[in-house]
Amino acid sequence: EMVNAELDRRDHGASTFGGAAAVADIKRRKFEIFDRIAAEDSRPVRPERVIAALMKVLPPDATVVSDPGTSCPYASAYYRQALAGLNAATALLRFTLPEREAHDALFMASEALFDAMAEGGDWVPTYLRWELGLLEEMGYGLDLSRCAVTGSRDDLAYVSPRSGRAVSRQGAGEWAPRLLPLPLCLLGQGPASLGEIVQGLRLTGFFLGERMAPDLGDRPLPEARQRFVDLLGRSAR
């Protein structure tokens, strides 16, 4: 998928087969079927349901070992965690950065993220901070330091979709339904649950898709990112 996307970007195939779009559509339909079967409560238990259960209970850095029999193709085809995060990050880098343009801070942050993925451990919060850094590097950084309305640093609960600035509950008032939820993990308050991280990725995703993407030619965000967020969302349930 990534090779096809790069060929299409260089116009080495977009006019003939549109490789990236074709592969993305096939994978989307493939995982739609997987998700439907994984949600069934039928007997005997289907392999899709086993893989979905493993992804839900195992940490993102888990290593799954499968014998070369029937289980192997299901595990290799459907189990995705760290690979999904890697695909999301590299797809966003390809989407946002012009060729040969230096971004030293983003390079170091990306290197740290990839190292965290390779070493294991809880790298998903690092990915969320990486997306915040990507927005900052591209000129769309969020200001979560104080309330845009009252100036207070206390009880920050929302982000303005227009300015990207934090808003407190008091400052939001009747406008709260029109604002974006601000998870506490982005304020550095306590350990981040997977549900909070997913909420944080929905927040960064809004500004990536609604603010940054239109300025880069109004292209949709890479589907690899949404697949990663969807995967984490299913694991958080």
Please report the pLDDT score of residue 13 as a whole number. 45
Q: Which is higher by pLDDT, 9 or 226? A: 226
Name beta bridge partners: 166. 159
For 106, list phi and psi in degrees, rounded to 5.
-70, -35
* CA 201/CA 183 separation, integer angstroms: 10
Please report the pLDDT score of residue 67 as a whole number. 72
- For 170-207, the pLDDT digits (tens) are 999 999 999 999 999 999 877 788 899 999 999 999 99
Whether the CB-CB separation of 166 and 144 falls below 8 Å is answered with yes
- For 9-68, the pLDDT digits (tens) are 665 444 555 665 666 677 778 778 878 888 888 888 888 888 777 766 666 556 667 776
Q: Which of 63-77, 85-99, 108-122 has the highest mean pLDDT?
A: 85-99
Q: What is the SS3 assignment for the chain?
A: CHHHHHHHHCCCCCCCCCHHHHHHHHHHHHHHHHHHHHCCCCCCCCHHHHHHHHHHHCCCCCCCCCCCCCHHHHHHHHCCCHHHHHHHHHHHHHHHCCCCCCCHHHHHHHHHHHHHHHHCCCCHHHHHHHHHHHHHHCCCCCECCCCCCCCCCCCEEEECCCCCEEEEHHHHHHHHHHCEECCHHHHCCCCCCHHHHHHHHHHHHHHHHHHHHHHCCCCCCCHHHHHHHHHHHHHHC
